[in-house]
Structures are given as C-alpha cells and as structure tokens.
Amino acid sequence: MAERGRGEHPHGADRLCEAGDRVYSRAVRRGRVSRRDADAVPCLLELALLHPDPDDMDWLVPTSPQEVMTRLLRGVYDEVSASQRRMGSAVTAFEWYAGLRPQPPSSAGEGTAIRVLDGSSRIQAALDEATEACTTEVLTVQPGGIRREHELTEGLHRALALRSRGVRMRDLYTHVARHGQGLLNYLDLMGDSVETRTLDEVTDRLILFDRTVAFIPANADRTLALELRHPALVHYFVTVFERLWRLAIPLAAPLPDTGIEGISHREQSIAALLAEGHQDAVIAERLGISVRTCRAHIARLSETLGAASRTQLGVRIAQVGLDGPPRPAEGRSSAPLSLPDQGSPTAL
C-alpha cells in the first residue's frame, strides 16, 4: 500500500493531494481518524502528518499544524541557505574565469564577428562605412514586391558612390519587381554597373560587401540588423547568393511560359505553394504580392482548372503537374486542359 501511495501521491506536505487534504482536515477537526479511512492516502503517514494513536493502534492522530509549519519552514530555510552557498561558489568561480578573458578591442567596429545594429541611424551609418571601404563587389537580395521609390532612393547615394569607383553590383529580386517602374528607372541610371536577376521567391534581405561583411535584418520591422564579419558566416551567405543567382532569370529575359494555356507564371508559382499546404498570407509574402492579389490569382486558377472548392483545386493542381518544380516548356502541351469529368465520382 505504501508503494502504491508513493506512486499516486508524489507531493510534499506543502501541497497535499485532494484526498490527503480531506483526511488530514478531518483528523485535525476530530482529533483522530481510523486507520481504514487513511488507507487511500498513505502519503499522510509518509509525510508524518498522521501517526498511530498509542492508546489505540486502529486509529491515527494528526501532527499539529504548527509543528508541520515549523518543519516546512525549517526545510525551506535549509534549501535557501544551500542555494545561497552554491550561488556564492558559482559567482566566485566565474569571477575568476572572467579575469582570464582577453580584453575586448578598443574599437567596437574592429574585429567584431557579429555586431547588433539598433535603429535606422546606426544601420545606415554601418552601411555607409561598408560602402566607403568596398572596392570590388556588392551582392544584394531584395525580397518583397514592387520596390517603392523612397526605398530605391534611400541607398541611391551609396550605389552611385560604388559605381564611381568601378564596383560591380549584382541584385536579386522577385519576379514581381519587374513590374515596378521605379526599379527600371534606377537600373537605367546605374547602367552596366548593376546586373539584376529575378526569382519566384528569394530569401530575406541580404547585402554583401567584397565578400567580407554581410548585413541581414534581425527583426520583422527591420529596426534591428546584424553586421556579420565572421568568415564562415559570410562564406555561407555568398554560397546561398551564388546558387540563387544561378537559378534566377536575367531581368532583360522574359519569364518562361508555363506551357499550360490560361495559366501564368505567377499562377504556376502560387499553385506549387498551394500544393505544399501554405495559407494565402504566407504565399503572398513569399512571392512579394498582396493577399488580395494572391486570392485573385487563386480564383483564376480555380476557374481555369475547373475546381469548385479549395480541396478540388489541390487535386486539379496535381493532375496537371503544377505541384512541383516547373518542367521545361517544350515538355508541355499548350493545348487546352484535359481533366476528368467533374461529375465523375472518380474525379476527386
């Protein structure tokens, strides 16, 4: 019985189980309880809250609440004292270890592998500093959709300074950015010093100077940024950029045709993300379009594929091969879609 009680009542006297509370309260009120009544709560005996009545061993009498409280407080005091001793030992030890650490460099901007930039003014100042030191190459990833004029003009002074020194620039955008006149005007101004390519979706914002320093956002609203100078981290970001660049399409080249009549390249991208189970807001963010525009494309997809519901749309997407990476256009037929009869019970 005692073994069973330990498994079912794993607590201390400071937090009795409901059954233990009921029996102990009865014992305090009446002065004792029968041993049979306490069989269901062996924890009271294990915690010495009940003990045998020396005058009648079939009954149990309670330990006084004052004595229990004194015992608990003594235990708590002992635990606190032990914790304080451990804390003191830990502080003493690590104060000694801290003394072994080399002194930080005198300048916070030199030799720091990762630096947190808090606020737009510090971010802009760090970018200006990296621009002045840059001599050969700048790589950027620009997520989102059509770039607003003020976003393009914010860094225009840096871009012009780089161009004047013969620095080459390569920029990655989403396909949606192709439709922004501001970007086209910017590229006309920069001439052949900037090469631009686009993808369905890209990573978060990234700026790399001379493959030695990288800048990435550190929060959603981009009021915090990380300046990275650790060679392994910078090399990793350069590798990611180069692989995305190889997959991207030059801005001057047209987007490949889907090979399916009535379905645009963007709708093909949306269909693939729908097949992965993403919600409209996630798809819109990844492709750099608004949720409203995304839903309009989904509606056109449903109409083109003859889907009456979201579930049926997923089936249609798989049937026409839009649920995976795009296949070469020459491997597809531009003929009208041929789908199973919607009325057929085997169509879904």
CA distances from 238 to 120, 121, 193, 233, 249 (A): 24, 26, 19, 9, 18
Residues of the chain with pLDDT under 50: 1-7, 106-110, 328-348
Confidence (pLDDT) at 10? 60
Measured torsion, CA atoms of residues 270, 271, 275, 278, in degrees rounded to the nearest 10: 20
How far apart CA 68 and CA 14 sit, in angstroms, is 9
Residue 124, H or E segment: helix 120-133
Q: What angle do CA 132, 133, 139 make, to 5 degrees?
A: 90
Give the position of tokens 């990611």: 240
Sign of the alpha-carbon torsion through 154, 166, 198, 184 = positive
Distance CA(331)–CA(329), nearest Å, equals: 5
Cα 266 from Cα 261, distance rounded (Å): 13
Q: What local confidence, expressed as pLDDT, does residue 7 receive?
A: 47
Closest CA to 269 of 288, 245, 251: 288
On whether the CB atoms of residues 272 and 323 are closer than 8 A, the answer is yes
The number of helices, as runs of H, and strands, as runs of E, in the chain is: 13, 11
Q: What is the pTM of this model?
A: 0.54
Structure confidence at residue 50 (pLDDT): 86
User: Is residue 80 within 8 Å of 73, Cβ to Cβ?
Assistant: no
Euclidean distance between CA atoms 198 and 183, whole angstroms: 12
d(CA 129, CA 161): 12
Burial 6-37 (b: 16+ CB within 10 A, else e): eeebeeebeebbeebeebbeebbeeebbebee
- How many whole angstroms from its chain centre is CA 232? 22
> In the beta sheet, which residues pair with residue 141?
172, 206
Model confidence pLDDT, tens digit, residues 262-318? 777 778 888 888 888 888 888 888 877 788 888 888 888 888 888 888 888 888 888
Which amino acid is located at 65 in the chain?
P
Which residues are paired to 56 by β-bridges?
53
CA-CA distance, 322 to 54, in Å (whole number)? Answer: 84
Give the E-state strand segments of 150-307 in sequence order: 168-174, 194-199, 206-209, 213-217, 224-228, 249-250
Q: Is 333 left (phi over 0), alpha (psi -120 to 50) or beta?
A: beta
pLDDT at 267: 81
pLDDT number for residue 330: 44
The residue length of the chain stands at 348
